[in-house]
Amino acid sequence: MNMSLAIPIETSARHIHLCEEDFHILFGEGGALTYKADLSQPGQYVCEERLTIKGPKGTFENVAVLGPFRKETQVEISLTDSRKLGITGMIRQSGETEGTPGCTLVGPAGSLELDHGVIVAKRHIHMTPVQAVQLNVRDNDDVFVIMESYERSLIFADVVVRVSPDYALAMHVDTDEANAFANENNPTGVILKLFGGRTYNLQKWAEELQSGIHRL
């Protein structure tokens, strides 16, 4: 069954979330994040501050810092970015940084060696509890999202649902994923309810299809 609520699809380029302690190492004591512009999620914003990310093989300069401060510093990149940096790209939900690779962050006042915290963000949908009820999904469900794009329409699988009263409806993909479709102005998608409405992992489905098991 096709759930008809249109979900805005937003491209999330590489960026950095900082804890306050690390901010002062990189930008100096006594400073604060400098607001530049709001993001789609309430209370989240892009800052004037920029950093350089260094890995064993490559560097990205002028990388955006997002506010407000987090409890732990986290660097979000794409899989293509990870190859340029020379680090392993690990797909994780935001905040799940245990066992992830690190990198070097360079700011105007100093540098910081992270031993973990670099992730490739799992594609996800932010929504409110009311919207979750409308769409018949729950927090941490994995869903399919179909989107229309000129000659590049596609279905995203393994999209995790994140529910909070503090969220605004939006699906976030990284630059690799956005390049898979035409990335038209204001793209949207809708959730596809497959397997009788149950949450189902695409990898498991693919394995079962290859084994001759059909669940649709």
**Distance separating alpha carbons of residues 190 and 199, to the nearest angstrom:** 15
Residue matched to tokens 């999202």:
145
Query: What φ, ψ does residue 196 adopt, rounded to 5°?
Result: 65, 25
Q: What is the pLDDT along the chain (216 residues), one digit of tens a residue?
A: 445 689 999 999 999 999 999 999 999 998 999 999 999 999 999 999 999 999 999 999 999 999 999 999 999 999 999 999 999 999 999 999 999 999 999 999 999 999 999 999 999 999 999 999 999 999 999 999 998 777 788 899 899 999 999 999 999 999 999 998 866 678 899 998 766 655 556 667 677 777 776 655
Q: In 3D, which of 39, 34, 113 has the Cα closest to residue 69?
A: 34
The structural domains of the chain, ordered by start, are: 13-121 (no CATH), 123-210 (2.40.40)
**Distance separating alpha carbons of residues 108 and 40, to the nearest angstrom:** 28
Q: Identify the pLDDT of residue 123.
A: 97
Q: Identify the pLDDT of residue 181.
A: 85
